[in-house]
Structures are given as structure tokens and as C-alpha cells.
Structure 1
Amino acid sequence: MLQNNLLRNISQGQICKAIGVKVVTSNEIILLAKAAGYDSVFIDLEHSVLTLEDMGRLCSTSLLSGITPFVRVPRECGRGFVQRVLDGGAMGIVFPHISTVEEAQLAVSMTKYPPRGQRSLTAALPQYDFQRVSAKDLIPQLNSIGSTVIIQVETKTCLENIDAIAAVEGVEVLLLGANDLSLELGILGEWEHSLFHNALDTIAAAVRKGGKIFGIAGLYSRPDISKHAVQVLGAKYVLGHLDIGLLAVAMNKNVEQLSALDK
């Protein structure tokens, strides 16, 4: 069984550094992420046109490279879609726009095998290099470390229900979706606003109370707030940036350097 870097890093007192992929579909993006030192790849099927074939290839390359692949699925995509993503090599599912306990329970049900959920069993999974593994070994391993349930906190209703959602058995990570949450709160991009910082504190408190993992996403331009979330609030999973954002930043910097050549 390949290891889950999120759980491994937490056990060693370290954060899990993730890169998001929503544009680049070639294996090279995973190899570059590995060389850079990322621990996890966040494959985005919600805000992209990536196919399941793209996702499977990226997951397989991640697994072979020792990077843990988590996949964000589209909102309300259904049990069958989640099944295909997991069978395609994902080590965890990111569920966006979860607002209620019932939705969180459904997310667990779709992701975990019985008795914890209702995931369907198949053989020859990429997580095991397509080797045959007995069900009595596969099910407890995948349930415990190979099918992480990541709930995105990005609605006001989710904030209102956060303690109850954090108490749901099988939910492992509460992931701040900074942009959508600030949009719902009516303070889009106002990272200094008291409503936003109160939301951060509320999520962190629920995580501690429920014994879950705190993750942050969307704060790519605010390393100061990310540092506060990690060092003060205890965040352990940090989405550093998306591939398209990193490319844009690097290209803009490069053009500045080139433009300065003739000045």
C-alpha cells in the first residue's frame, strides 16, 4: 500500500504541501512537483475541463512518484462518478460546497467501503500497482489511509453547521475554500475583514473539537495569513497554488526581466 503523505507528514509534525492541477495534463507536471518538493497533488475536476482519463494518468504518475493524489470532484456529481475517480487512483476525494451533516455523511458513504460506507469493491487498483490484493487486506487499508474524505468549507450554511459536520465519522479534513467562502460572506477577497478571520477561527475550533485535520486553499497571495493558519490555528494541509497560477506568475516575472534588458 502506497503511503498517504498527508497522514505521514502530520505524524512527523509537518505540513502537507500541495500543488493544484487544472490545466496541465501531461505527466511532467507531476515529475516537476516531485522535484520541487510537493507532498500532494490536488487534481481539480470541479473548475476545469480535465477528463477522467487525464485524472487517471495524473493519479498513476503521482502514485509512482510518491506524491499523494487528491481529486476535487464537481458539486453533486453523484456516487458513480466518485466511484470512478477512486478506482482511477485517487487517494482521497475533495467534496466542494458541502453545507449540511447529511451531505457530509453522504460524502463518507460514497468514499468508504462497508461497514463505514457503501463504496463498491473491485480488483486491480492503481493504488496497488494493479496487483491482486485480498479484500480483507484492501478494505481496511483503503478505508483508513487510501480514501481521505476532504470537506470544503465554503458556504455560510457550512459554517453554521461546522461543529456537527466535524463530528461526522469518516470525515477527515475540513478544507477552507477561501474564495467561495469570502464570496458567500459578502467580502470577496477582503482577507483582513473580521468576518473572514472569525471564519478561520471557527473552522480551527471545530477541527480541534472534532479531532479532524485543518486545510487551507485559496490564500495564494497571502502567505502571512497562511502562516498564521499553520502556526497559530494548526492547519496541516496547504494548497500552495494551481498550475495555471504558477505559470502566470513565472511568465509575468520573466517578461519583466526580458523587458528590462533594453532599458
Structure 2
Amino acid sequence: MSEIPRLNGIIKVLEEGGRAYTAFATPDVQTALDMSVAPYDGIVFECEHNAWDARGLRDSLQYMVNRRQILSSASLAPQVTPIVRIPPNGNEMDQTYAKQALDLGAYGIVWPHISTVEQAYNAVAACRYPRLKSAPLYEPAGIRGDAPTTAARYWGLTQQEYYRKADVWPLNPEGEILVALMIEDTVAIDNLDDILSQVPGIG
């Protein structure tokens, strides 16, 4: 296969020095249909304040794909890039929801209430596959579980291509996964400089 073009439209805009615009939306089929042609760079499926429904999220991701748009654009990716805001606060140090959302094909994770370096590290690590310690870009050490079949198919890639692309940007310049942290309290503000300087891989 020829070189795979950038799949994550939010990252594409940021790489070009632009401002990426997204909107929050509930993860349901009708919303996905409406948002799939909206004039945004991305959509954030809001799962923090809605009941977690992996099947509903899976269906929503599928309905973001517009085959006519794929044909006309020669891109495998949805016109509007879907990412997911997950339920747990940063201090819960939970990786379950990020793993499930990525395994379904999401192009990024929004982590609520990240307040410390440790929480930020956990967020980035949860979005990366493990690699050998001798590998470049080893830190933050990945802890994502290995179940790429659905996500690889959703991205239109082989599993080996998915492994190569499913890493965090900008730490890995070829990565297609965006890790966004929400800074929501004074503790987080006090720690922000340390978070940004000590944790690579934050988008």
C-alpha cells in the first residue's frame, strides 16, 4: 500500500499551524449522521456525563463514515474526526474506558479533571501500546491492551499498519491518536507547567 495520508483531521489542522474546531455531541446514530457532514474538524462524543454505552459509541463511530465522501476525497478517514471524552476523573487513574474507546476506533481521548503529572502520565500511557524499552519514544511506557481488530478495520488499515499509526501525536509525528487533557481546578493550574514539561505525548 502507498504511504497512508494523515487520518486524524484535528491533528492535520494543528500540524499546519491552524486552529482545530470541534463540538461536543451525544453518542447516538442520528447525531453522528448529522455531525458527519458538519463544518468541524472533529466531534467529541460526550461520555463523561452520559451513561457509558460501548455499543452506542460503536454505532456512532460507524455512522460518522460517509462512503461518498471517502470516494470523492480519496481518504479512508471520516470527514469529521471522532474523539471521545471518557467518564473517569484523572485521579481515578482508570484506563478501561480509554482502551475501549480506542479499540472501537476513536481517534483520540479527552481526559477530564487531570490535575497532576502522574495523572497526565497515566492518560498518555493508557493510549499507547507497550514497546521494548530499547525502542525509540519509549516514554510514557504504553499500557494499552492488545485488541486492534475493530479499530484497524474502522481506520481502513491492516493490523500492522494500525499498530504503526495508533500512537500519540505529537510525540510520534506519525501517530494518529490525540490525547487531550482537561485542566479544571486550581491544583491542575498550579501543576500545569510540570505536566507540560514532564509528560510527552499531550496533544
Band the TM-score falls in, shorter-chain normalisation: 0.7 to 0.9
Equivalent of residue 94 in structure 1, options 84, 89, 110: 110
**Amino acid of the residue matched to residue 73 of structure 1?**
I
- Provide structure 2 residue ranges, at least 5 long, that are not aligned to the other structure: 67-77, 132-140, 169-174
User: 1:131-170 maps to which residues of 2 (within 5 A)?
Assistant: 133-135=158-160, 137-144=161-168, 145-167=175-197, 168-170=199-201
Structure-2 separation of matches of 1:52 and 1:149: 19
Contact in 1 for aligned 2:46/2:84 (Cα 8 Å): yes
Query: Is this contact kept in 2: 1:63–1:127, CA < 8 A?
Result: no
Give per-residue Cα distances to partners, 1:60-117, cap 9 Å, x unaligned: 2225542211111112372233211110111111110111000111111111112341
Q: Higher helix proportion, which one?
A: 1
Cα distance, 1:101–1:61 mapped onto 2, change above 3 Å: same
Instruction: Give yes or no for the alignment of 1:29 onto 2:31.
Output: yes
Mapped to 1, the partners of 2:52 and 2:96 lie a distance apart of 17
Contact 2:82 2:108 (8 Å CA) reproduced? yes
In structure 2, the residue matched to 1:118 is: 143
Q: 1:8 aligned to 2:8?
A: no
For residues 139-175 of structure 1, the C-alpha deviation after alignment (integer angstroms, 9 at most, x for no partner) is 2311043321111010111100001111211222xxx
**Structure 2 CA distance for aligned equivalents of residues 62 and 36 of structure 1:** 10
Structure 1 residue 131, shift from structure 2 partner: 6.0
**Structure number, greater radius of gyration:** 1
Q: In structure 2, how many angstroms separate the alpha carbons of the residues matched to 1:94 and 1:107?
A: 9
| Structure 1 residues not aligned, in runs of 5+ | 173-263
**Secondary structure of the corresponding residue to residue 150 of structure 1:** strand
What is the identity percentage for the equivalent residue pairs of Structure 1 and Structure 2?
25
Q: 1:74 to 1:11 in 2, by over 3 A?
A: same
TM normalised by structure 2 equals 0.73
Q: Give the 3-state SS of the residue equivalent to 2:21 in structure 1.
A: strand
RMSD, matched Cα: 2.3
User: May I ask how many residue pairs the two structures share in their alignment?
Assistant: 169
Alpha-carbon distance, 1:130 to partner: 7.2
Inter-partner Cα distance in structure 2 for 1:130 and 1:4 = 10
Q: After TM superposition, give the deviation of residue 30 of structure 1 in Å.
A: 2.5
| Counterpart position of 2:119 | 103
1:189-246 CA distance string (max 9 Å, x none): xxxxxxxxxxxxxxxxxxxxxxxxxxxxxxxxxxxxxxxxxxxxxxxxxxxxxxxxxx
User: What does 1:153-232 correspond to in 2, within 5 Å?
Assistant: 153-167=183-197, 168-172=199-203
CA distance in 1, matches of 2:93, 2:81: 22
